[in-house]
Structure 1
Amino acid sequence: MSDLFQAAKLEEDAPRPLADGLRPTRLDEVAGQDHLLGPEGALTRLVRAGALGSLIFWGPPGTGKTTVARLLAHETKLAFIQISAIFSGVADLKKTFETARARRAAGQGTLLFVDEIHRFNRAQQDSFLPVMEDGTITLIGATTENPSFELNAALLSRARVMTFKALDEAAIEQLLKRAENAEGKPLPLEPDARAALVGMADGDGRAALTLAEEIWRAAKPGEIFDRTGLVDIVQRRAPIYDKAQEGHYNLISALHKCVRGSDPDAALYYLARMLAAGEDPLFLARRIVRMAVEDIGLADPQALVIANAAKDAYDFLGSPEGELALGQAVIYVATAPKSNAAYVAFKRAQRVAEEKGSLTPPKVILNAPTKMMRDEGYGANYEYDHDSPEAFSGQNYWPDSLSRQKFYRPVERGFEREIAKRIDYWDRLRKERGDS
């Protein structure tokens, strides 16, 4: 028995990682997520209303998703159960659901936190639906992947997505100061080295605390590390840009604005700056794709093809050869004709869709696979455009309660000149056929 107590004492005294030891004990201690946990944050309002509901936490690693789920369970008096989709299968889920049902019968609810929920296949994701609907569990799923692409529509329709942001420099500094208070000593870093450490964390609070722990472990009494010493300790490349110079977001903004402003040489300069600083090339590839759809659009439809091809080329070649493909794509998008007409049109369409709600399309363009639907007028008087003159019937496709809207207004640049001519031609045909 004494051996057991000794073992328990050893376990109790076992060293804990700094990130684990500094895990917040209250929601207002969570750093960097004020949009969710501030006085008027989305999660704060849900807790205040006492109606948590099932949630999907979407965000990069080290931003507090697990911690917040655990604290929400405490705030709402729910039993907290945590599983990982990487290590759990159907049998584990069934056992978890049975335990939750028994707990519910005893008068307590269960908050089930599923880490990496996107790793579950479609059938496994579907297994959550009945226990979510009958209140057996309140589900909180955490994912670093876009839920729109990785989670079933049925699951998403029953859960609200909460987006966690990468921690900014102020939030990382807050964590480092909390660590210094807990350790009772400052980090042995010169100011430029401390700024570099914040950059190395890359928005990941857990990574920042792990790096801090490495520094304290490596420091001799009275030793203060400069930037070079920091790199030697943590074996990570210090970013060229940091808080003391032009930050990560400043440089990506500069690159985007140089492309938008049709300056290929300045755009290449900022691309080279970011690559030299150790920026993830695939992050840059994603931003180039964004530039192609936001600032060029249909003025040059090839821009999106080129941007995606550059991403694929980098995936295929790796560094450094693949970086040339990114440079080529930057030159292309910087010199392409510019139009944000598609971007603006989509925003307008989104706004109207949100304001008007779920309007039913006109019956003329609804399919009628059954006799009952045909009797209701579905598909009646639909004109097959290919049978019409100019392959254009000019029928009204808007909901009956919504007048024709004009979202897309092409510019007189690049390929959009031709699109504008087509739209004007179709508008004339509609007027001639009495549907303006």
Structure 2
Amino acid sequence: MADLFSSDAAPPVSGHRPLADRLRPQSLSEVIGQSLILGPEAPLTVMLASGALGSLIFWGPPGVGKTTIARLLAHETELHFVQISAIFTGVPDLRKVFEAAKIRRQNGQGTLLFVDEIHRFNKAQQDGFLPHMEDGTILLVGATTENPSFELNAAVLSRAQVLVLERLPLSDLERLAQRAERELGQALPLDGAARETLLEMADGDGRALLNLIEQVAAWKIEGKLDTAALSARLMRRAAQYDKGGDAHYNLISALHKSVRGSDPDAALYWFARMLEGGEDPRYLARRITRMAVEDIGLADPQAQAICLQSWETYERLGSPEGELALAQALAYLALAPKSNAAYVAYKGARAAAKQTGSEPPPKHILNAPTSLMKDQGYGAGYAYDHDAEDGFSGQNYFPEKMDRPTLYAPVERGFERELKKRMDYFAKLRAKRET
């Protein structure tokens, strides 16, 4: 996948040159945006000033300048620029690249190897870069749209610095549009609102914006188009969303935290974003039910049932009507009282179970179906709670060698407020029985 203003092929000698090719920056100072890595005190600026450019991983969405910046870095450092794509490059191709780089190095010329979609290389292929990075044969610059922490080998990450490139904001897209108008020698035939709509259609992707501008500039029209006319002529760019990638996990995290933060508007927004991106509503139904279990729990015992009912309703109605049931469940969860007390208690119980190993239950709560077991004290002294005062014996039910832990601590919210009263009541009775 190429990036903003970049092309691996040489510009055509004659004929039409795409606007993105014509506007390709000739120096890092001409790159629009990415001040976090190109600003006065930013990492790349400091590296270049100190003459200590190391291997890099550029992580960011499409169309934000990854390839362009890599090409300009090679120019700034007088390194030979080689670009490959992990999608189309196999092991034999890599060997040829490394051999050519070795020959250049022997002749006093370094190589900056730019690897697009580097996360698509498998572990063995990624490991193949290591010796050539270590002996200085190549300076590796990888580009990825996926989280390097999950997609790249630890060995590669330990030898490269990860730099994050961000989507271009509307202000940077406007600067890019103005640069395009100067190159084209004409203003875009759009009114103010339509111009802003055009920028929004690019969704932070500079290359996509230039493609849109090229289309608009080719129209033979009189006057200026408004938003409705522009939208009728252009399709809005599909939002970036990969059901198996970072966007998927980022959006479900935003959805879950919006519910936990009791914000139904934000929750419904992220829910809609995922549906618009093509997410399976069944996956969302499962995650919404999980939210009820983890973050609401017994503070509202109805929450889980409402989620399951909405899930069943979706299965009966399908899309799009069934998605409304999921949206209603989501709004209910966002406004429900929150508690993770049962979740915390469950994790604590699991930890205690691992720690205490195979300690047996106390003998007084063990059944004694045989005389031998009775002789061993099984069931001796068991107090039948229904016969006890207040229906509560206060006996110990933990292993005899284990100190009684406190695992479940209800919160003062929703139905758990009532459960806390019951917990406190039984705690007082238990203390009374023990004395």
Q: How does 1:13-412 map to 2 (within 5 A)?
A: 13-220=14-221, 222-236=222-236, 259=259, 262=262, 264=264, 266=265, 270=269, 280=277, 282=279, 300=297, 320=320, 323-324=323-324, 327-328=327-328, 330-331=330-331, 333-338=333-338, 385-386=356-357
Counting aligned pairs with the same residue, the percent is: 56
Code of the residue aligned with 1:70 in structure 2: it is R
Size of the aligned set, in residue pairs, is: 333
TM-score, normalising length from structure 1? 0.63
Give 1:76 deviation, angstroms: 1.3
**DSSP 3-state at the match of 1:82:** strand
Shift of 1:322: 7.3
Checking the alignment, whether the CA contact within 8 Å between 2:281 and 2:323 is kept in structure 1 is no
Question: 8 Å contact 1:69–1:113 — kept in the other structure?
Answer: yes
**Residue 21 of structure 1: how far off its partner (Å):** 1.1
Structure 1 pair 271/89, CA: closer, same or farther in 2 (3 Å)? Answer: closer
Contact 1:260 1:295 (8 Å CA) reproduced: no
User: SS of the residue aligned with 2:141?
Assistant: strand
1:289 CA displacement: 11
Please list the CA deviations of residues 107-153 of structure 1 after superposition, one character each: whole Å capped at 9, or x if unmatched.
11110000011111111111111111111111111111111111112
- Specify the code of the residue in structure 2 equivalent to 1:64: G
The one-character-per-residue Cα deviations of 1:185-244 (angstroms, maximum 9, x if unpaired) are 111111111111111100000000100000011233x332111221222233799xxxxx
When Rg is computed on C-alpha atoms for both structures, the one with the higher figure is 2
Task: Give the conservation status (yes or no) of the 8 Å contact 1:267–1:330.
Answer: no
1:331, distance to aligned residue in structure 2 (A): 2.5
Gaps of 5+ in 2: 1-10, 240-251, 342-353, 361-397, 404-408, 420-435
Instruction: Indicate conservation of the 8 Å contact 2:104/2:111, yes or no.
Output: yes
Tell me the TM-score normalized by structure 2: 0.63
2:288–2:330 Cα contact (<8 Å) kept:
no
Letter in 2 for 1:330: L
Q: Which amino acid aligns with 2:262?
A: S
- Residue 78 of structure 1 and its aligned partner are, at CA, apart by 0.9
Judged with a 3 Å threshold, the aligned counterparts in structure 2 of structure 1 residues 205 and 49 are, in CA distance, closer, same or farther, namely same
Amino acid at match of 1:228: A
Question: In structure 2, how many angstroms separate the alpha carbons of the residues matched to 1:39 and 1:292?
Answer: 48
- Superposed CA offset, 1:262-296 (max 9, x none): 354x4576568x669x9536599999999999999
What SS does the corresponding residue of 1:218 show, helix, strand or coil?
Answer: coil
Q: Distance in 2 between matches of 1:145 and 1:30?
A: 23
Determine the C-alpha separation between the residues in 2 that align with 1:124 and 1:238.
32
Distance in 1, matches of 2:142 and 2:236, equals: 31
Measure, in 2, the Cα distance between the counterparts of 1:111 and 1:214: 35
CA-to-aligned-CA distance 1:26-65 (integer Å, 9 cap, x gap) = 1122222111111111211121221111111111000000
